[in-house]
Amino acid sequence: MPWSNQSGGGGPWGQRGGSGGGKSPWGSGPQDSGTPPDLEDILRRGQDRLKDFIPGGSFGGGKGILLLALAVVGVWLLTGFYTVRPNEIGINMLFGKYTGSSGEGLRYNWPYPIGQVRKPDVTRQERIEVGYVSGAGGRNRDMLEESLMLTGDENIIDIDFDVVWQVNPARAQDFVFNLQNPQGTIKAVAESVMREVIGRRTIQGILTTEQASVAQEVRQITQSSLDGYGAGVLINVVQLQAAQPPADVRQAFFDVNAAQQDAVRVQNEAETFASRTVPEARGEAARTVQQAEAYREQSVADASGQAARFSKVYEEYRKAPNIIRERIFLETMERVLGEVPKIVIDQNGQGVLPFLPLNELQRRAPATGSAATQPAQQGATR
């Protein structure tokens, strides 16, 4: 046994082979009777040894108790020192009430249970998934109760998005005291705000060009709501991961969307044709109107000239009717017979009267001259 007092061995504190046998930690070894040591004797001896360290030699004295109490209080006060890392902010409390914040370094606050220190991480960014749960290998599980939302034009859309947040360094005490479940609170607020924003927009805009504006608006409203709650967090990013129709009606929605795009395309083509044809028709109409106006002006001017000429002729006719009548007859015959081949017959019975056709000679002269110049030009080119 470990307490055996045989001469060949020692107890747990004994020395093998020593003349005095083994000794206990309190000074003397066990009795030679071979019986186990007396516990009361061991305690008495330990008490005697402890008295040697107490001034006055009496453990029960008032000064010893006071020194012991002061030592205990000193050790307790030393436990109030704590270290704040660069990514943390110390939130000091006294009897559970906030008393102030502390920056990085070695700091001090009243130790527990009078004082308490909370050190939230103000640089770590947390991500909350709304509408889906990410899995291994990029396979996500859709949470339809979170992702299905109603748009302003009464369509259903499936939206998955992320919210990235962190503790506000300027309001870290609000985060510590006002938020019991930060992840759940921020997720509930962001989902509610997303439903509000989607309910004010049409599905076509959300699926095409308005996703960035939707994310920005959701971030701003979520931040404003959490500030109103005194949450002490910063919403850094709201990012849409997917925005599409529900899986059950997705193909039908794409067919309707394609038909709408075809309708818009045909309408644009018709508007293009109209924008090209209408100006041409208007230009043609304006040209026809201008031609008619010009013809009218010309006809009126010709008629006015003819009337003025007839008036002049009539005035001259009144002065000398015979002369004017003869002149009109000659001018009319000249105009009628000018281009008609003529044969002149002598009235005295001598037969056909030869005459010199000056008009035909004048017409032939230019033709003959042009034919004569051609051989000369050909010889020159050779």
Q: How many domains does the chain have?
A: 3
pLDDT score, position 37: 59
Answer yes or no: is 168 within a domain.
Answer: yes
Q: What is the mean pLDDT of residues 75-103?
A: 86
Name the band, by pLDDT with cuts 50, 70 and 90, for residue 21.
very low
Q: Which residues touch 15 (CB under 8 Å, ≥6 apart)?
A: 22
Evaluate if residue 82 carries a pLDDT over 80: yes
Residues 147 and 180 in one domain: yes
User: Can you give the pTM of this predicted structure?
Assistant: 0.54
Residues 214 and 291 in one domain: no
Query: 49-58, 72-81, 138-147, 288-297: which has the highest mean pLDDT?
Result: 288-297
* DSSP letter, residue 352: B
Question: Where among 118, 141, 170 does a domain terminate?
Answer: 118
131-176, pLDDT tens digit by residue? Answer: 999 877 667 788 889 999 999 988 899 999 999 999 999 999 999 9
Secondary structure class of 312 (helix, strand, coil): helix
Can you tell me the distance from the alpha carbon of 360 to that of 364, in angstroms, rounded to the nearest whole number? 6
Residues 277 and 184 in one domain: no
Answer yes or no: is 315 within a domain.
Answer: yes
Secondary structure class of 106 (helix, strand, coil): strand
Buried b (16+ CB within 10 A) or exposed e, 311-336: eeeeeebeeeeeebeeeeeeeeeeee
Evaluate if residue 280 carries a pLDDT over 60: yes
Question: Where among 211, 244, 277 does a domain terminate?
Answer: 244
Average pLDDT, the chain: 79
Show the domain range for 213: 126-244
Q: From the centroid of its chain, how far is CA 51? A: 79
pLDDT score, position 245: 87
**Residue 142 and residue 161 in contact, taking contact as beta carbons nearer than 8 Å:** no
Residues 95 and 178 in one domain: no
Evaluate if residue 292 carries a pLDDT over 90: yes
CATH of the domain at 224: 3.30.479.30
Residues 222 and 182 in one domain: yes
pLDDT score, position 33: 45
pLDDT score, position 381: 47
Stronger pLDDT, 19 or 226, i.e. the higher one:
226
301-315, pLDDT tens digit by residue? Answer: 999 998 988 888 888
Residues 239 and 140 in one domain: yes
Evaluate if residue 9 carries a pLDDT over 50: no
Stronger pLDDT, 117 or 382, i.e. the higher one:
117
Answer yes or no: is 301 within a domain.
Answer: yes
Q: Which residues touch 159 (CB under 8 Å, ≥6 apart)?
A: 131, 147, 149, 194, 198, 206, 240, 242, 243
SS (HEC) of 144-189: HHHHEEECCCCCEEEEEEEEEEEECHHHHHHHHHHCCCHHHHHHHH
* DSSP letter, residue 137: G
Q: Which two tokens stand for residue 158?
A: 């499936």
Nearest of 155, 214, 154, 158 to residue 190 by alpha carbon? 214
Residues 189 and 297 in one domain: no
Name the band, by pLDDT with cuts 50, 70 and 90, for residue 6.
very low
* Angle subtended by helix axes 211-229 and 182-198, to nearest 10: 130
Evaluate if residue 350 carries a pLDDT over 80: no
Return the percentage of the chain with pLDDT > 90, whole number. 33
Residues 236 and 214 in one domain: yes
Return the percentage of the chain with pLDDT > 70, whole number. 73
Answer yes or no: is 382 within a domain.
Answer: no
Answer yes or no: is 102 within a domain.
Answer: yes
Answer yes or no: is 280 within a domain.
Answer: yes
